[in-house]
Amino acid sequence: MLTDHQILRIPGPTPIPPSVQRAMNLPMIGHRGEETSELLKRIHPRLKPIFGTEQEVLILAGSGTAGLETAVVNTTQAGDEVLVLVTGSFGDRFAKICETYQLKIHRLDVPWGDAVDPEQVNAYLQNHPSIKVVFATYCETSTGVLNPIQEIASAIQSASDALFIVDGVSCIGGVKAKMDEWGIDILVTGSQKAFMLPTGLAFVAASERAWKVIEENPQPRFYLDLRKYRDNLAKYTTPFTPALSLLFGLEQALNLLETEGLENVYKRHQLMMEMTREACQALDLPLLTADDTASPTVTAIYPEDFEADQLRKVLKTEFGLSFAGGQNHLKGKIFRIGHMGYCTPADVLQFISLLELGLQQIGVKRDFGKGTIAAQTIYLERRK
């Protein structure tokens, strides 16, 4: 194997398109100059359709977690009651951020691998009318669950005036998001997933209702103060030094998404998910999530007759193929495949074929080639 040949199929960071890499290598410019202002003018309106909003999508230099903390610190203050919907490791992270800011946390814990039941959310809010904010994770990266955000939003609206804040880090750009139509108050994502960029940009959009809360919130904040980003964007600048190379790359990533067309982007992700899941089922590899709650961006497999990490090690050593492992209590028990961003059905056929070879090499008896044939069949059936 070539030592510098790596096949990255984890749920982030994801591979970078060559044209995006070239864009990030453009010469540096002054971050307070006219060129940067023109760059921001070009970029910002093009983010709105991906979020499904008419509001401005603000860009922070920071990871997705910075975006999540931004959402918390701008809308809450110590002692506020909040509800966190926890379906995995990243729902739990939202809860930990809330704990840091001394909020009174209600947790609605869902078994890992299951999605949130909107009726449960509705009932919980009716029994706890003091809750001011509900936090949820759109795609729970640790399990491969895609939570029913539209239905959860409706359940919240029928029971409460609470704000609805959504972590969309591992799916925005790969699945539909209709922030305004669904009634999401703050939607957050990051650059290193379906946006096909390195880590380093956080994207945050807020509804008019959320902005009212943000304006009136006495909670101190400095770097993460959304008001600063909004006010500076009106002048096509940023409150702090922007990650210019990433912004160069973002412009080209948006070019790629728009050339393909967002609906086609979403169809591609759905197709890759179906190919992956059908292949795993053909190989008798148990899936952690049900078909109707599975994410188009990441699939989690829960093997019963071999060690997940043994397979991952062989695939990495022999082929340079990286799958992700499990987190928290699923560490060593599952492996996760990322199929988002710069990824196509051809890549799915590659990693399924290599997965079959890996199973053979660790002595797992399966019908060789059955998974690849299953994925090929789905491609032929669903590609149009």
Domain ranges for the chain: 7-14+262-382, 18-258
Tell me how crowded residue 10 is: count the other CB atoms within 10 A of its CB.
17
Average the pLDDT over 247-269 and give the result.
98
Query: What is the tens place of the pLDDT at every residue in 163-218?
Result: 999 999 999 999 999 999 999 999 999 999 999 999 999 999 999 999 999 999 99
172 and 149 in contact (C-beta within 8 Å)?
no
9-38 pLDDT, tens digit per residue, is 999 999 999 999 999 999 999 999 999 999
The pLDDT assigned to 334 comes to: 98
Q: From CA 42, how far away is CA 98, in angstroms rounded?
A: 35
Q: Which residues are annotated as a binding site?
A: 336
pLDDT at residue 384 in the model: 65
Average pLDDT of 292-298?
98
Mean pLDDT computed over every residue of the chain: 97
CB < 8 Å & 24+ apart, contacts of 326-334: 326/142, 326/300, 327/88, 327/89, 327/142, 328/89, 328/92, 328/142, 329/112, 330/112, 330/142, 330/143, 330/302, 332/307, 332/308, 333/302, 333/308, 334/288, 334/300, 334/301, 334/302, 334/303, 334/308
Q: Which residues are annotated as a binding site for substrate?
A: 336
Compute the distance between CA of residue 333 and CA of residue 149 in angstroms, rounded to an integer: 28
The CATH topology of domain 18-258 is Aspartate Aminotransferase; domain 2 (3.40.640)
Residue 1 binned pLDDT confidence (cut-offs 50, 70, 90): low
Task: Quote the CA–CA distance of 243 and 248 in Å, as a whole number.
Answer: 9
Query: N- to C-terminal Cα distance for the chain?
Result: 36
Which residue do the tokens 């090690």 mark?
313
209-244 pLDDT per residue, tens: 999 999 999 999 999 999 999 999 999 999 999 999
pLDDT over 90 at 3, yes or no: no
Q: Do domains 7-14+262-382 and 18-258 have the same CATH topology?
A: no
63-110 per-position pLDDT tens digit: 999 999 999 999 999 999 999 999 999 999 999 999 999 999 999 999
Q: Classify domain 7-14+262-382 at the CATH topology level.
A: Aspartate Aminotransferase, domain 1 (3.90.1150)
Q: What angle do CA 285, 328, 100 make, to 5 degrees?
A: 145
Q: Quick one: what percent of the chain has pLDDT higher than 70?
A: 99
Rg (alpha carbons) of the chain, rounded to whole number: 21
